[in-house]
Amino acid sequence: MRILVTGGAGFLGSNLCERLVKDPGNTVYCLDNLQTGSLENIKELQKLPNFSFIKHDIVEPIDLDVDQIYNAACPASPPAYQEDPVHTMKTSVFGIINMLELGRKYGATVLQFSTSEVYGDALVHPQPETYWGNVNPDGIRSCYDEGKRAAETLCFDYNRMYGTKVKVIRIFNTYGPKMNPWDGRVISNFVNQALRGEDLTVYGDGSQTRSFCFVDDLMEGLCRMMNSGDTVKGPVNLGNPGEFTILELAEEVLKQIPGKSRLVFKDLPQDDPKQRRPDITRAGELLGWQPRIPLREGLERVIAYYRELMNKQ
């Protein structure tokens, strides 16, 4: 297979590239503009003969003859996507149009990395794919939430109008090695604060819930989705249905990194969802997939990764 991974130097993209290059029959093209991605994530991969890095912004068209396209390009943490909200929206909308045109031209399957944020501050819990969401179209998170919703629409419209082969997965909170320690997401925040002996910042009262999926489990779901039949288009939720409050997460981090850190509470950001847990029934039925790595084990691996990063500094 000739495989294009956009956003391939980012957290999810680099983990995916690492998995795909293990098959010597694959030629993997990693495309990234390095806005939030890092060459450090793909340093070892660039030594391999079946891996190529292309610096490019998918807001601009590109011509590449490939069989499969994993579209992971887009800043995913709130601080990153709010830094330039117009470009975030362009990445989601112009980017998927460019990838769908590529898929249309060469007959490639396009797998869109969508997000649980399409559900907004959900009024249905857990969130099934049939739920249409409760999204603020005019808030500081809208560039990401609405951009991803529009990208889903474009995928299915290209499929209906042109027969372009598409697949859409909705990713719930994912964590693991190669996650930027400064990306502003809750696990990276807590782990790095605890490792430095700093207080852990909890937004709101910590009662809001999240479900955390380890990156290896997500990679398995992604590959199963891409290689499922053409009739499996999605959307399909991929995430771990184990639900934890932010306070429970903070307590688990402090248990694994004992020290002087305490909890500090700050105001909840605008439009921050109160509950987040995927209904993964569809993933089980269509892909035979379910996550296997519990939060405690996954955190141990993330903590080891961040400790190694700190030792290199």
Catalytic residues: 144
pTM given for the model: 0.94
pLDDT grade, residue 8 (50/70/90)?
Answer: very high
In a domain, 205, yes or no: no
pLDDT grade, residue 306 (50/70/90)?
Answer: very high
Dihedral, CA of residue 157, residue 161, residue 163 and residue 165, to nearest 10: -10
In a domain, 80, yes or no: yes
The tens digit of pLDDT for each residue in 188-217 reads 999 999 999 999 999 999 999 999 999 999
In this predicted structure, the answer to whether residue 281 has a pLDDT above a threshold of 90 is: yes
The tens digit of pLDDT for each residue in 259-270 reads 999 999 998 887
In this predicted structure, the answer to whether residue 272 has a pLDDT above a threshold of 80 is: no
In a domain, 180, yes or no: no
Q: Identify whether the C-beta of residue 72 lies closer than 8 Å to the C-beta of residue 114.
A: no
The CATH number covering residue 91 comes to 3.40.50.720
pLDDT grade, residue 310 (50/70/90)?
Answer: confident
Q: Under the phi-then-psi rule, with left for phi > 0, alpha for psi from -120 to 50, and beta for the rest, what region is 253?
A: alpha
The dihedral of CA 19, 22, 25, 28: what is its sign? positive
Range of the domain at 101: 2-175+213-240+274-292
The tens digit of pLDDT for each residue in 47-91 reads 999 999 999 999 999 999 999 999 999 999 888 999 999 999 999
pLDDT grade, residue 185 (50/70/90)?
Answer: confident
In a domain, 132, yes or no: yes
CB neighbours (10 Å) of residue 306? Answer: 20
In this predicted structure, the answer to whether residue 146 has a pLDDT above a threshold of 80 is: yes
113: closest CA among 63, 172, 161?
172
In a domain, 188, yes or no: no
pLDDT grade, residue 183 (50/70/90)?
Answer: confident
In this predicted structure, the answer to whether residue 131 has a pLDDT above a threshold of 80 is: yes
In this predicted structure, the answer to whether residue 273 has a pLDDT above a threshold of 90 is: no
In a domain, 26, yes or no: yes
Number of domains in the chain: 1
In a domain, 93, yes or no: yes
In a domain, 247, yes or no: no
